[in-house]
Amino acid sequence: MDFERQTPVTVQAFHYDLVDEDTEPKSDVRTGIQKLDVSQDDEHSEENGSYYDVAVFYDVVPAPSEFRVSGTIHQVVQLKDYHGDGSDISSADWQLLSRPLVEYIETLTYEVTQVTFDQPVNLNFKANF
């Protein structure tokens, strides 16, 4: 699936919290998509494909459990020659759409843990589709 990014990645929420050492590790990373109505927008036309808000919702406690990161990250994209509701997008296409957002989560976590622990933590995960 061909797509064009319409906006930069937007970090709607990024939460970093220290947790008790007995907190269970988890990796809850989900994606979502919402079709946008651009009918009143003179700049954008759906002739070549519809516009969508792609989001990644996450709540991650890596092992060993020292911290939790959670939040939501978005980006608006135009999916070329596609006008559906997003429910039939393949897993491979979801990975292409969501990977830049997941990379932001990984980068933010790396930077924050570099400051808080003097040693960065690399998160390497994939979103659930």
- What is the predicted pLDDT for the residue at 68? 96
Residues in the chain, total:
129
Work out the pLDDT band at 71, boundaries 50, 70, 90. very high
Mean pLDDT computed over 32-47: 85
| Per-residue model confidence (pLDDT) at position 127 | 54
Specify the pTM: 0.86
User: Is the Cβ–Cβ distance between 62 and 25 less than 8 Å?
Assistant: yes
- Under the banding of pLDDT at 50, 70 and 90, the label for residue 58 is very high
Pick the CATH number of 3-117 from 1.10.3720.10, 3.10.420.10, 3.30.70.260, 3.40.50.300: 3.10.420.10
Higher pLDDT, 93 or 127: 93
Task: Report the C-alpha gap between 50 and 31 in whole angstroms.
Answer: 18
3-state DSSP assignment of residue 65: coil
